[in-house]
Amino acid sequence: MAVGIFDSGLGGLTVWDAVDRRLPDLPVVYLADSAHAPYGVRTADDIYALTCDATERLFDAGCNLVVLACNTASAAALRRMQESWVPADKRVLGVFVPLIEALTERQWGDNSPPREVAVRHVALFATPATVSSRAFQRELAFRAIGVDVEAQACGGVVDAIEDGDMILAEALVRSHVDALKRKMPDPDAAILGCTHYPLMEECFQSALGQDVRVFSQASLVADSLADYLDRHPDMLGTGEAAFLTTGDAARVSDRATQFLRRQITFQAA
């Protein structure tokens, strides 16, 4: 019995870590498409093709349920996959909805009409592909009205994190926050719309100010996954826990161990 978690690189390990803490007995097959990372600068068609290929690998590894722990893939590929590609006996879930439900204070599965919510001005920090997709705004509009969203494409942050250059990553975060605040000086809340960004959450919070509520995804996705599996225990597959990568397994293992400060050993996919 295993669930698949997919990311273009190491960012999804923040979700895996939260899932492992929330559901310690759940085997997970984690796949990093390191050979093609980052996805955030690719075209929507390219992201769709790569995401389908990676998801197919996880299905083949015995996973009936795959979580796209990648905002770029969730934004650019998920809806198209669900509508025309995912087999009837499989499920693919994204990471946007749990975050938006927390932001709008809606319960899981609440399908009531959109309504006014407490937040009015929301800053969204994400990859260029996620920003251009406008997927976050679309999903938010299903649940809330009267919310102004200002998106900031955070070029370079994922690359710096994947390379282990946290000094550069911090400098880039502060630069992107400055650019966002020139457009929206006083956001009520900020969304970290990339699974790499929880590693920089303290930096985002510091740059934004302590009065801005920062929403990060990992624990929210883990809680939603636990709830989903309670309601759909049949979606547990037959695979065994593993960490897979399309890149250099030794290098990715070293980066992952530094990334999470936990020993992580990848195999070639």
Q: What residues are labeled active site?
A: 70, 194
Asked whether the bond before 38 is cis by omega within 30 degrees of 0, the reply is yes
- Half-sphere exposure (Cβ direction) of 222: Cα atoms closer than 13 Å: 20
Question: DSSP of 188-253, one letter per residue?
Answer: SEEEEESTTGGGGHHHHHHHH-TTSEEE-SHHHHHHHHHHHHHH-GGG--S---EEEESS-HHHHH
CA distance 29 to 19: 12
Element housing 152 (H / E): strand 148-153
The residue assigned the tokens 């397994």 is 249
Main-chain phi, psi angles of 50, to 5 degrees: -65, -40
